[in-house]
């Protein structure tokens, strides 16, 4: 009897350990892929503006490229979210990553061949960002299918730490890569990272995916989410502020690179290392965020992020040397973390679970309404009046938004 009991216990333990091992293996694949994809994305974000600058030395061309990258999220965020809910996630992710790798290889080949056709580059950037959004939209579902519910919090914490760490180390490693003979080597390295991720994802074992019933029409699903969004006045009000503030946030990212190259005359490799100051600020912000929210509440943390962004932009306006520029970037990264995490936390807390995907898509589209126009216009403003106008105008814009924000009910949200 004791032997039978021992055998039964052993079998039960083995049966329980097998799924746990599968979950751990699946999450390890996703975590490794997130590190590689995030590093590749950071490398691409730094190298692409530098490539455009090397070709044209034009702020208009740089802003046009950034505009092309912003348009996919603006136009397709809602639709991609619904499609992801209806398809095989693993197959979808493999297509998204594989096509990005092919486009990056094509981009590098064109650049090395001396084919500097900006409309073609803009089109490739547009497609790359479309595919990138398609992947990251599905990533949340992959984690859900790969990790037990009771381990989701720990899994997301590990992913967040990995992304933050790469945010700091990525630009520094980019500096080493930019010491290579050709700046487009970075695109080849990014494509290699993506191809490695494809190989990893082919070995990913997921829990059985439940297909979304097709009885509900696309339009009906969208309208349900839209009505819920309109009924939530607090979320709508927060969305208005994010629309206004995102215009300056995106413009500053592009303008800072142009300022460093054109005004400070930094080399591409040194610039990549300097940009890691923003990642260090982001890490500091992530470490302090929980304490700040407990002490002040979410509404005040968001308000402080607006104030800090304004201060950082003013420091950029005053910067005439490397040290002030680095300090401004650190503060930008710190404020950006408080800003983005506050927005996402507020949206999650305000949204029912069954509407999360649709509300995320709707707000994601709304968040970007003003960004393409602001970024494109900033290129012309820089060409006419210089980067200082952008930095000062962005600081004043944030202060004006803060003056209105503190008078709303959002300021008191805990």
Other C-beta atoms lying within 10 Å of the C-beta of residue 216: 10
Count of other CB atoms within 10 angstroms of residue 362? 22
Give the model confidence (pLDDT) of 384-409 as tens digits.
999 999 999 999 999 999 999 999 99
| CA separation, residue 309 to residues 43, 230, 386, 394 (Å) | 24, 29, 20, 9
CATH architecture of 20-207: Up-down Bundle (1.20)
Three-state SS sequence of the chain: CHHHHHHHHHHHHHHHHHHHHHHHHHHHHHHHHHHHHHHHHHHHHHHHHHHHHHHHCCHHHHHHHHHHHHHHHHHHHHHHHHHHHHCCHHHHHHHHHHHHHHHHHHHHHHHHCCCCCHHHHHHHHHHHHHHHHHHHHHHHHHHHHHCCHHHHHHHHHHHHHHHHHHHHHHHHHHHHHCCCCCCCHHHHHHHHHHHHHHHHHHCCCCCCCCCCCCCCCHHHHHHHHHHHHHHCHHHHHHHHHHHHHHHHHHHHHHHHHHHHHHCCCCCHHHHHHHCHHHHHHHHHHHHHHHHHHHHHCHHHHHHHHHHHHHHHHHHHHHCCCHHHHHHHHHHHHHHHHHHHHHHHHHHHHHCCHHHHHHHHHHHHHHHCCCHHHHHHHHHHHHHHHCHHHHHHHHHHHHHHHHHHHCCCHHHHCC
Q: For residue 7, what pLDDT is reported?
A: 47
pLDDT for res 279: 78
The per-residue pLDDT for 170 is: 64
What number of CA atoms fall less than 13 Å from residue 5's CA on the CB side?
Answer: 2
- Domain residues of the chain, as ranges? 20-207, 217-414
Q: How would you write 296-338 as a 3-class SS string?
A: HCHHHHHHHHHHHHHHHHHHHHHCCCHHHHHHHHHHHHHHHHH
HSE, side-chain direction, 13 A CA sphere, residue 333: 22
Q: How many CB atoms lie within 10 A of CB 208?
A: 6
For residue 11, the model assigns a pLDDT of 47
Q: What is the dihedral of CA 42, 44, 47, 50, to 10 degrees?
A: -100
Rounded CA separation 216/278 (Å) = 44
136: its two tokens: 């990251």
Rounded Cα gap, residues 217 and 387, in angstroms: 48
Do residues 359 and 229 touch, judged by C-beta distance below 8 A? yes
pLDDT along the chain (414 residues), means of 10: 49 51 78 86 81 86 86 77 75 93 94 88 91 81 69 64 70 66 82 93 70 61 85 94 92 90 86 82 83 90 96 96 94 90 83 72 83 90 93 97 96 88
Tell me which architecture the domain covering 217-414 has in CATH.
Up-down Bundle (1.20)
Give me the pLDDT at residue 314, please.
Answer: 97
Is the fold of 20-207 the same as that of 217-414? yes
- pLDDT at position 384 is 93
Max CA separation in the chain (angstroms) = 89
Predicted pLDDT of residue 152: 58
């Amino acid at each position: 009897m004791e032997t039978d009991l021992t055998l039964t216990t052993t079998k039960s333990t083995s049966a329980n350990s097998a799924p746990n091992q599968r979950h751990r293996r699946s999450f390890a694949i996703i975590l490794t892929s997130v590190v590689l994809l995030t590093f590749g994305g950071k490398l691409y974000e730094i190298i692409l503006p530098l490539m455009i600058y090397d070709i044209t030395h034009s702020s208009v061309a740089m802003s046009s490229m950034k505009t092309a990258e912003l348009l996919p999220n603006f136009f397709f965020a809602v639709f991609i979210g619904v499609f992801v809910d209806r398809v095989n996630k693993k197959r979808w992710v493999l297509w998204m990553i594989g096509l990005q790798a092919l486009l990056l290889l094509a981009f590098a080949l064109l650049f090395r061949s001396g084919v500097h056709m900006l409309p073609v580059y803009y089109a490739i950037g547009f497609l790359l960002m479309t595919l990138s959004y398609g992947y990251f939209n599905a990533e949340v579902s992959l984690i859900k299918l790969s990790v037990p519910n009771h381990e989701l919090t720990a899994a997301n914490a590990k992913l967040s730490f990995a992304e933050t760490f790469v945010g700091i180390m990525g630009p520094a490693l980019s500096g080493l890569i930019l010491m290579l003979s050709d700046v487009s080597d970075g695109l080849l390295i990014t494509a290699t990272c993506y191809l490695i991720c494809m190989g990893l994802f082919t070995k990913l074992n997921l829990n059985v995916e439940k297909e979304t019933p097709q009885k509900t029409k696309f339009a009906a699903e969208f309208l349900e989410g839209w009505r819920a969004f309109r009924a939530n006045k607090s979320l709508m009000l927060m969305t208005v502020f994010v629309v206004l503030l995102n215009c300056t946030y995106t413009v500053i990212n592009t303008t800072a690179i142009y300022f460093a190259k054109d005004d400070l005359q930094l080399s591409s490799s040194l610039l990549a290392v300097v940009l890691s100051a923003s990642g260090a600020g982001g890490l500091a912000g992530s470490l302090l965020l929980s304490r700040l929210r407990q002490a002040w509440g979410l509404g005040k943390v968001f308000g402080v992020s607006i104030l800090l962004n304004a201060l950082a932009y003013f420091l950029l306006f005053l910067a005439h040397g490397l040290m002030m520029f680095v300090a401004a970037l650190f503060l930008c990264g710190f404020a950006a973390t408080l800003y983005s995490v506050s927005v996402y936390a507020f949206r999650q807390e305000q949204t029912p679970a069954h509407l999360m995907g649709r509300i995320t898509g709707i707000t994601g589209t709304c968040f970007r309404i003003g960004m393409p126009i602001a970024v494109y216009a900033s290129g012309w403003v820089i060409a006419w009046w210089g980067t200082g106008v952008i930095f000062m105008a962005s600081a004043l814009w944030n202060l004006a938004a803060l003056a209105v924000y503190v008078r709303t009910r959002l300021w008191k949200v805990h």
